[in-house]
Structure 1
């Protein structure tokens, strides 16, 4: 035992004295003749007076436990980039000077994301490279358990691992921290740097006492929270990529049985399994364990169980590991307001939500920014595609929705629907001509802002409109559908339009609202035609016509009849199409709907031209152009100019056709109608080809291909490129009809709109 010849100082000074008592020569105090300590060069936290320490010869050091690093994770795969980044941070021979070396690296991410596996794998790689000859210390801080490891306990554990016997263990946290740093300093000089792996920390306070005082050491921390307070190199982990998730599943099964090829035998189903697991490593490992426990079970059977489950997390449990339990550890640490926000975000529509939707969810005038960022630091919420947008991991969404009470979730959805309906109606007003609702005092200052808002919120709007299946939300959801259809058609989002209209139709039918049901059938038919599902579209418009006729709604019946005319023209029944359009014109004249009448004239011109009645087609298009100018619908006037150019070219009036194309192109570009611009550029190319100018024709068709790509129509873009390659001078006296590429899914805008929406320019 060491003998104190003077009163033993207490507190930190006592810890330093006791540390010096146990240290070897060169540890910060120089020893002479066995009874004299020279403390020059030592670091002290308090004044030390009159201390003399004598070491008893033959005193043995305590046993060390420096081999506590867990074994390498079996089946570790992926994370190549993250592993490389972490190794660069830990490299003791890095390019940064010692004074600015990165002492701490912090791996953070959602529970089950694979933080510990990455940290342990990287620590093994570092040891193999001989980077930390002083050894590797591992400690699990249990930061998310009900009783996390305190600094006092973690220091005691690490000191014991470093060889400090129980009888020499300081009694206070500060003393233990001082001894810990002193012991590491000795070890550095004797053996080299040490890596401390502190797993599962929940706060910076848990880690700070474990930081060495020497930059030759490194500390590697894992946490579900970002820990920027430590001045650490931050490495957030996301879910695995699709290929990495597939490899993890396959590797985990083959560890259990090298001949198990179920994952590789059905890659498509295995990819779906990975998606249902949110590509979360813990969920993937559990799924693999469930398959390994039942060797005869096809992957498709587990996929069906997960896909059909009311709560996927019920199935992601192998008896020892549970995704739900992993999330609960994080959830129960949240303050009440953050926990409520997580629950409400889980019932939000769409894959991402904006700040304005978050504010609606919580029922406040502004979003709870502090709580949002706190959840993001805890990796329970992720930032979206841009600032001010937020998303949840798929399985966190399932967890949060399961934690929300029914009444709480219904109230939040109702608030979001009201918010969306108000904004969507204001935005929709800017897409319609001469709308009194489109006031500059509203939330949007013009058409461009309205379209930008629709574009940003589209996924959420569509998801919210589909809430029409919920009786408590149906009324507002059906109204929201009505405010979306003009935009969805303009952006050619036909599949989305079909989905929301189908939900609105079912809700209206259940409520016995025949007028709303008829309008929904008509809107759905328009969207189905845009998707080239002509048989379904015809049936939908026929149902709409019959319902409107029974109700005595002439305007609605006219819309449906005109839309039936479009489909009849599409399938080559020209005479029947012309008859339908004339019937619709009579009904619209009776109701005085001049704008929808313009749409019918525009659409009537198509079958007239196709049947060789070009002069009648030109007369119809002049009537459409006059009415569009009268009603102030510039975007559809631009589409009518396109059709006028096509008819002029068919008549052989190529110079006038070029002028009409340019007028159409100006309007399309003014209103960012990229698909309309693409069709007009293609038509312009055909006009030049008719005139024998192959070079200009090829240039315009190439521009059309680029515009089709911009409009999200790659098939039409390829058709335009193919036409450009084949373009050559036309034989004299044989004009080529100007037409866009062959009709594909959604090419050419559909016909007149359902009640309350303007007619359109037609294909």
Structure 2
């Protein structure tokens, strides 16, 4: 919920604390209720409520729960202090003021309100000593009565607040824009009848305060903020309804950050006859969105409508080590990164990286992501902070080189772990036990957590990163196939193919082409898969890699079958099978037998298909390849069912389900259970068929799909 348009509020007296005299009313940092005598009166020093306030309903409820008087509460031990914290521009002041006005409207603070902008992020912040002088004036202490000693001033201040508490006159003290606990701790009242509301870009963990950290608005609330702002200027402005998609795009470009949205709304108000889409285009083409978000004038609280200066101040307060860590996080492949990956980028130990990351969380420049059990900490950076920081790095040659080294270190880190995880996924009976990960489940958990970053990093194919990016692409191909992230596999494969070609590395290019063809096949784009698979076969042949050539033939056979070139498909699978038999590679020979069975089944040669699937099962059982054994059992069951041998099909399906459940492959499990349900129905076992169908629905739901897939895995 944010203020969305300048709105002239009522006039308030101001006192400038930075001079040697206090002569109000003048413009300054501290807002008070001006009083010329020591008689205590109800104070009302709040600036106007934010205009067009929208969104933040949950946060407002939580804040009001803290401010609620003790005799109206349902929970004991009320918090006297609440700190609203968050990134600069997150709308902390607007939320605090809206809550304060709501509390006053409910008559929770008959003793009045005190508001001070501590200017914690200005060049000369207001000190506690300066603030207490102003607060005493607001509490009715005139110049003559004001003690000259700071200690006496604090004693008198607390005494006045204690008197108000004794008279059942609680006061709300709103300390805005604090940057350190030292600014506010001397100003805290001694009575728990009063309430203190603090806003800060820092977490202020040393204070005994209820913390309310603000995040970006939801997409819907961000859109509502822009629409409300435009309607405040002109109730007939229908651009938000006419350009609903553009408003949503604009909100996203602003990172759903309230200040960014407010600036965008101000820019739109200055252009009442121009479409919202024009501003969207401007921001999309801007080198740095943060610096493009600037408008003339000030908001209703006299603050500049410019986002970059806010980030300038926050970044400028960082130490050298913290700034270096923020630059590293900003250059990560996505907005989220693990502690280990951040440590790798910064060239630090995980323990040192964790300390610096905690510092950045304290400054609200990143946020900690709630981690699932057994995973390391993860951290997220806001899109606008990321763009701002990346621009700082790019504009400085020394920092740009630092960033390039950070990315090289990250690619090395990801490649090493991805290769180890890949070995776990491909682990066969008799192979050396892979190190790094405790088992397949641990490897999959790491790959799942890092998938977005791995896919993005594998597409860093500039010449400097190309060798490591290709290495990473080769390591994640099996995982992306296993988890059915086919679009990711295609994106990674295409980027790696071009990089390997530029590197003049025919073996890597051939392997990448083979993986790319497989991803296209599984994405139901068989016609597109033929070209890279043909290219792979030719490259493997040119370098004398007979095993690789056989693998390409095998996959090419799958593509040809799906483009209705069945006889050519059979020929390719036979060539692959014979090649693997000659080289003695039983694992790949078993796969070729399986694929040959698929083409024979498509050609209507069911008995031959059954023999091929049965032979594949024998080989997989001998080599200990449980995953492919499950695939071949499923296909064998399908062919047996087609041949009218339902009971044999049911037995094969049961065995396939057991294997597929071992490996958390819920898509394949759901497919086999669907096939089993069909076979049970044919065998006139309706109750068992219904049970299998229900289990298929459950397994498919766990895989994020529907239970309508029958037949063979690709």
Aligned residue in 2 for 1:535: 527
Matches within 5 A, 1:313-332: 313-319=290-296, 320-332=304-316
What are the superposed Cα offsets for residues 211-270 of structure 1, whole Å, 9 maximum, x if unpaired? 112222111111111223221121111111111111001011111222222222222222
Say which SS state the counterpart of residue 228 (structure 1) adopts. Answer: coil
- The 2-side partners of 1:287 and 1:147 are apart by 29
User: Structure 1 residues 84-93 or 586-595, which shifts more?
Assistant: 586-595
Aligned residue in 2 for 1:372: 357
Q: Does 1:563 align with 2:541?
A: no
- The 2-side partners of 1:136 and 1:620 are apart by 84
What are the superposed Cα offsets for residues 115-135 of structure 1, whole Å, 9 maximum, x if unpaired? 000001111111111111221
- The 1-side partners of 2:484 and 2:450 are apart by 16
C-alpha contact 1:429 1:437 (8 A) present in aligned 2: no
- The 2-side partners of 1:96 and 1:118 are apart by 21
Q: Does 1:182 align with 2:159?
A: yes
C-alpha contact 2:429 2:623 (8 A) present in aligned 1: no
Q: Does 1:398 align with 2:387?
A: yes
- The 2-side partners of 1:146 and 1:512 are apart by 56
- The 2-side partners of 1:299 and 1:519 are apart by 47
Aligned residue in 1 for 2:441: 448
Quote how far apart the aligned CAs of 1:552 are.
4.0
- The 2-side partners of 1:645 and 1:72 are apart by 71
Aligned residue in 2 for 1:489: 481
Quote how far apart the aligned CAs of 1:623 are.
2.1
Q: 1:230 aligns with which of 189, 203, 207?
A: 207
Aligned residue in 2 for 1:113: 90
C-alpha contact 1:646 1:683 (8 A) present in aligned 2: yes
- The 2-side partners of 1:98 and 1:534 are apart by 64
Quote how far apart the aligned CAs of 1:371 are.
2.0
What are the superposed Cα offsets for residues 447-500 of structure 1, whole Å, 9 maximum, x if unpaired? 222112211221221121111x22111101100111110111011111111111
User: Structure 1 residues 139-148 or 542-551, which shifts more?
Assistant: 542-551
C-alpha contact 1:276 1:307 (8 A) present in aligned 2: yes
Seen in structure 2, the aligned counterparts of structure 1 residues 587 and 97 have a Cα distance that, compared at 3 Å, is: closer
Q: Does 1:258 align with 2:242?
A: no
What are the superposed Cα offsets for residues 608-651 of structure 1, whole Å, 9 maximum, x if unpaired? 12322111111211221222233321111111111111111112
Q: Does 1:472 align with 2:464?
A: yes
- The 2-side partners of 1:269 and 1:701 are apart by 44
Quote how far apart the aligned CAs of 1:311 are.
1.6
Seen in structure 2, the aligned counterparts of structure 1 residues 593 and 110 have a Cα distance that, compared at 3 Å, is: same
Q: 1:296 aligns with which of 244, 250, 273?
A: 273
- Identify unmatched segments of 5+ residues in structure 2: 1-35, 297-303, 394-398
Aligned residue in 2 for 1:124: 101
Q: 1:671 aligns with which of 663, 676, 681?
A: 663
Q: Does 1:159 align with 2:148?
A: no
Aligned residue in 2 for 1:699: 691
- The 1-side partners of 2:240 and 2:547 are apart by 57
Quote how far apart the aligned CAs of 1:437 are.
7.5
Q: Does 1:341 align with 2:325?
A: yes
C-alpha contact 1:65 1:160 (8 A) present in aligned 2: no
Seen in structure 2, the aligned counterparts of structure 1 residues 306 and 504 have a Cα distance that, compared at 3 Å, is: same
Seen in structure 2, the aligned counterparts of structure 1 residues 149 and 436 have a Cα distance that, compared at 3 Å, is: farther
What are the superposed Cα offsets for residues 433-453 of structure 1, whole Å, 9 maximum, x if unpaired? 44888535x211222221122
Aligned residue in 2 for 1:616: 608
Quote how far apart the aligned CAs of 1:666 are.
1.2
- The 2-side partners of 1:654 and 1:223 are apart by 70
Say which SS state the counterpart of residue 178 (structure 1) adopts. Answer: helix
Aligned residue in 1 for 2:505: 513
What are the superposed Cα offsets for residues 667-691 of structure 1, whole Å, 9 maximum, x if unpaired? 1111222122111111111111111
Aligned residue in 1 for 2:301: none
Matches within 5 A, 1:583-598: 583-598=575-590
Say which SS state the counterpart of residue 206 (structure 2) adopts. Answer: helix
Quote how far apart the aligned CAs of 1:505 are.
1.0
Aligned residue in 1 for 2:182: 205
C-alpha contact 1:433 1:631 (8 A) present in aligned 2: no
Say which SS state the counterpart of residue 350 (structure 2) adopts. Answer: coil
C-alpha contact 1:429 1:438 (8 A) present in aligned 2: no
- The 2-side partners of 1:546 and 1:626 are apart by 31
- The 1-side partners of 2:186 and 2:55 are apart by 33
C-alpha contact 1:430 1:438 (8 A) present in aligned 2: no
- The 1-side partners of 2:383 and 2:693 are apart by 43
Aligned residue in 2 for 1:145: 122
Aligned residue in 1 for 2:342: 358
- The 2-side partners of 1:711 and 1:560 are apart by 29
Seen in structure 2, the aligned counterparts of structure 1 residues 437 and 392 have a Cα distance that, compared at 3 Å, is: farther
Q: Does 1:461 align with 2:458?
A: no
- The 2-side partners of 1:60 and 1:423 are apart by 72
Q: Does 1:639 align with 2:631?
A: yes
Aligned residue in 2 for 1:500: 492
Seen in structure 2, the aligned counterparts of structure 1 residues 101 and 553 have a Cα distance that, compared at 3 Å, is: closer
- The 2-side partners of 1:328 and 1:66 are apart by 36
Say which SS state the counterpart of residue 425 (structure 2) adopts. Answer: coil
- The 2-side partners of 1:603 and 1:705 are apart by 27
RMSD: 2.2
C-alpha contact 1:311 1:398 (8 A) present in aligned 2: yes
Seen in structure 2, the aligned counterparts of structure 1 residues 300 and 385 have a Cα distance that, compared at 3 Å, is: farther
User: Structure 1 residues 192-201 or 572-581, which shifts more?
Assistant: 572-581
Aligned residue in 1 for 2:413: 419
C-alpha contact 1:433 1:632 (8 A) present in aligned 2: no
- The 2-side partners of 1:604 and 1:284 are apart by 59
